[in-house]
Structure 1
Amino acid sequence: MNTITVASPKPLDPLDETTSLETAATTRALGPDILRALAILLVMLVHLPVEATPLPLAGIRPYGWIGVDIFFVLSGYLIGSQLMAEAARRRAIDFKAFYLRRAFRILPAFLLVLAFYTLVPSLRDAPTMQPAWRFFTFTVNFGLDPRLGGTFTEAWSLSVEEHFYLLLPVLVVLLRRRATVVFVASLVATIVIAGMGLRFALWQSQVGPAVEIQAYREALATYFRDVYYPTYNRLDGLTFGVVLAAIRLFKPLLWERYMPPYIALGIGSMSVIAALVIFSIRGPFAETNLPLVFQPLPGAVFGFPLFSAGVAFILGALVDLQPRIGRWHLPAISGIATLSYSLYLTHKGVYHLDQMVFGKDNLQGLSGFVIYLATCFIVAAALWFLVERNFLMLRDHLMSRSHRVG
């Protein structure tokens, strides 16, 4: 892994490089955008109450939580590609520039939404909220019991992402000269197997006792707190995304030879379907009211890595197909992907506001769904135009000046 076999262009980061919705439709990579748009729509769907879910989407809604795992694979691939390409090209990583870019990208919109939740309690989408310092320090995903802090719980995945941003640059630098194919494969296998083993142990020791006495609400909260939220249990998607980036950067001929798009799509689709089947097996929980996000032991152990690996294969195929699908004119997909971060931050709060403005009884069926979608996109577009875009422009201006000075 010390050299790049074939020169590769700088990977396009759909979360990072666009400063207008108009250019989003023409400069973004459609393959990652398709997955990103799908991911945010799934997340928005899973947080929509059943009574406001149209019948055709009712069967999909319970699986909406997998959208977060799609985001993890995308982040692993996109950030991993940037860092490893820079390390190979410059034989170093500009830590200051990397963290500055991430800070300008993530913090402004996040801190604004957090300020609203903190300072205006009536806007909170749940009765309780974790202390603000847990959000500021991105530690909210550790020990998070949704019963004791249900507001803005979607920030748990942002915490996982921040931990990834902190660790991956250091790991890339440490492995740049020492990594071999065998070493990296062993490291990846260790991360995945350790995650499976840890989830198995935690499920058995923490969730299992509550299940045995049929304390299902306690089991659900414990599952979220100890299995689902913590960073150390959610490395599968990020890991497989980074692995995909490494293979495509350092072994492109190997990927091209053995993983043409139709094979990668086939393997990825079968892996995703197999994972969804595992997620669907409820066993003794079939008659309970536990949501599908609560996974019995097989899903908690095997489902996450299998699904993440499948998404990584599909992403690799879509990137290879970019010369073909890039000619498709799908501005809606690119627009949704551009707004995905703002949508993620605001969609739960927007539905709460919808209830306050329109009344819960008026948010049922198709009309409630349309109101939810419309208000979500209006608020997300406002946040993007007023905050995200301006800080991205400021970041690019400041960094271009620093490069000229240097």
Structure 2
Amino acid sequence: MNTITVASSKPLDPLDETTSLETAATRRALGPDLLRALAILLVMLVHLPVEATPLLLAEIRPYGWIGVDIFFVLSGYLIGSQLMAEVTRRNAVDFKTFYLRRAFRILPAFLLVLASYTFIPSLRDAPTMQSAWRFLTFTVNFGLDPRLGGTFTEAWSLSVEEHFYLLLPLLVVLLKRRATVVFVALLVAAIVIAGMGLRFALWQNQVGPAAEIQTYREAFAVYLRDVYYPTYNRLDGLTFGVALAAIRLFRPLLWERYLPPFIALGIGGMAVTAALVIFSIRGPFAETNLPLVFQPLAGAVVGFPLFSAGVALILGALLDLQPRIGRWHLPAISGIATLSYSLYLTHKGVYHLDQMVFGRDNLQGLSGFIIYLATCFLVAATLWFLVERNFLTLRDHLMSRSNRTN
């Protein structure tokens, strides 16, 4: 692949380079922040019990799980941009620096929340919990049966991210000389098609038979364990995010010519809409009260890649529109995006605490929703200020001192 000079030597990372909420509002790109804020609010909504969901949000709640797929696209783009830009500049990847930066970014808050659940059982949001070593090794998403351990199950997606962090730098280095447009397109197609085929096979061999001989609830647990959680089934969003980064870095004229902002927004919006329609087709599960995350065959096979492709196109359009929308003063969006990781780690546990403090009967409708939002943001802001921000500052200090030494 012929390289070009990229527009910025350091891609914007809405999570990685902030040391205060004030600087977050001025240094972040609004397009990714809009998607990140939307993603975390959707994830928080889907984990909120029905009785505490306002009527205006009741129709949106069943689709809240798609927030995770938005996160995957964003992560694929942001990490892919960083690594490919580094390879373009240095013809190599500094593995030590990359993994240290990721460790300082991810581990402190995660380990604190995990320790809280492990050593203070009353904080757990479910009666059972997977073994701590599975969280520590980021293998919790393999064979994860929520019936056997429901506490802190949201960490499954963090495990997917960690596997991505481990593999992508190696892949970028290995492909740096042979990554032509055709080769990258074929690789993306191969990953997507392989994922579709694998989910099809798992549905036919595992989920379908379970739905026939077990209750739908038990079939749902099989679906989560075998189809929804494993890394090898959730590569669509990460793949499309990395592909977007590659196109924008190495073939910007191609992107500008065929996918100007409003064309990309239109096509992306249609892809997302089509995926949501597919997700809403319940088939034999229409009469059940199972969450829409339990996808029949069409949704499990086609819906995931279609949705991820649409989000990637929308993200690309928003990045192109940054000179326009960047003038908008939306500090609330930047604030939510800044707190998104802390919110993700704590929101399920916070609702459990709300029940302990206020009582389940007092967490109904709009008032319960307001209590939930207020306490979630209070806990997340505390975790961010006391843990995330301090470790980011420490990381930057250590990295700058290391650079001066070298």
TM-score tier by shorter-chain length is over 0.9
Match of residue 295 from structure 1: 295
Task: Give the secondary structure class of the aligned counterpart of 1:184.
Answer: helix
Structure 2 CA distance, aligned partners of 1:254 and 1:104? 36
The residue type equivalent to 2:259 in the other structure is: M
1:271 and 2:271 aligned: yes
Structure 1 CA distance, aligned partners of 2:292 and 2:27? 37
C-alpha distance after superposition, 1:225-246 (max 9, x if no partner): 0000000000000000000000
Task: Give the secondary structure class of the aligned counterpart of 2:24.
Answer: helix
Match of residue 99 from structure 1: 99
Match of residue 369 from structure 1: 369
The residue type equivalent to 1:93 in the other structure is: V
Task: Give the secondary structure class of the aligned counterpart of 1:25.
Answer: helix
Percent pairwise identity: 89
Match of residue 261 from structure 1: 261
Structure 1 CA distance, aligned partners of 2:255 and 2:188? 17
Match of residue 315 from structure 1: 315
C-alpha distance after superposition, 1:66-91 (max 9, x if no partner): 00000000000000000000001100
Question: How many angstroms does 1:283 deviate by?
Answer: 1.1
RMSD: 0.8
Is the contact made by 2:52 and 2:363 (CA closer than 8 Å) also made in structure 1? yes
Match of residue 229 from structure 2: 229
Question: How many angstroms does 1:7 deviate by?
Answer: 4.3
Structure 2 CA distance, aligned partners of 1:170 and 1:310? 27
1:51 and 2:33 aligned: no
Match of residue 14 from structure 1: 14
1:128 and 2:141 aligned: no
Task: Give the secondary structure class of the aligned counterpart of 1:11.
Answer: coil
Query: What pairs with 1:74-113 in structure 2 (closer than 5 Å)?
Result: 74-113=74-113
Task: Give the secondary structure class of the aligned counterpart of 1:370.
Answer: helix
1:402 and 2:399 aligned: no
Structure 2 CA distance, aligned partners of 1:284 and 1:223? 15
Is the contact made by 1:261 and 1:321 (CA closer than 8 Å) also made in structure 2? yes
Structure 2 CA distance, aligned partners of 1:126 and 1:372? 17
Structure 1 CA distance, aligned partners of 2:120 and 2:311? 38
Question: How many angstroms does 1:290 deviate by?
Answer: 1.3
Match of residue 332 from structure 2: 332
The residue type equivalent to 2:311 in the other structure is: V
The residue type equivalent to 1:137 in the other structure is: T
Task: Give the secondary structure class of the aligned counterpart of 2:106.
Answer: helix
Is the contact made by 1:5 and 1:251 (CA closer than 8 Å) also made in structure 2? no
Is the contact made by 1:2 and 1:177 (CA closer than 8 Å) also made in structure 2? no
Match of residue 28 from structure 2: 28
Is the contact made by 1:354 and 1:372 (CA closer than 8 Å) also made in structure 2? yes
Structure 1 unaligned blocks of 5 or more: none
Task: Give the secondary structure class of the aligned counterpart of 1:138.
Answer: coil
1:392 and 2:392 aligned: yes
C-alpha distance after superposition, 1:321-372 (max 9, x if no partner): 0000000000000000000000000000000000000000000011000000
Structure 2 CA distance, aligned partners of 1:111 and 1:289? 34
Question: How many angstroms does 1:180 deviate by?
Answer: 1.4
C-alpha distance after superposition, 1:86-137 (max 9, x if no partner): 0011000000000000000000000000000000000000000000000000
Task: Give the secondary structure class of the aligned counterpart of 1:56.
Answer: helix
Question: How many angstroms does 1:213 deviate by?
Answer: 2.7
C-alpha distance after superposition, 1:44-76 (max 9, x if no partner): 000000000000000000000000000000000
Structure 2 CA distance, aligned partners of 1:14 and 1:76? 13
User: Given the two structures, how large is their TM-score scaled by the length of structure 2?
Assistant: 0.99
Is the contact made by 2:75 and 2:241 (CA closer than 8 Å) also made in structure 1? yes
Is the contact made by 1:52 and 1:364 (CA closer than 8 Å) also made in structure 2? yes
Structure 2 CA distance, aligned partners of 1:249 and 1:198? 31
Is the contact made by 1:267 and 1:313 (CA closer than 8 Å) also made in structure 2? yes
Structure 1 CA distance, aligned partners of 2:242 and 2:256? 17
Structure 2 CA distance, aligned partners of 1:253 and 1:288? 49
**Equivalent pairs, count:** 406
Structure 2 CA distance, aligned partners of 1:9 and 1:29? 15
Match of residue 199 from structure 2: 199
The residue type equivalent to 1:276 in the other structure is: L
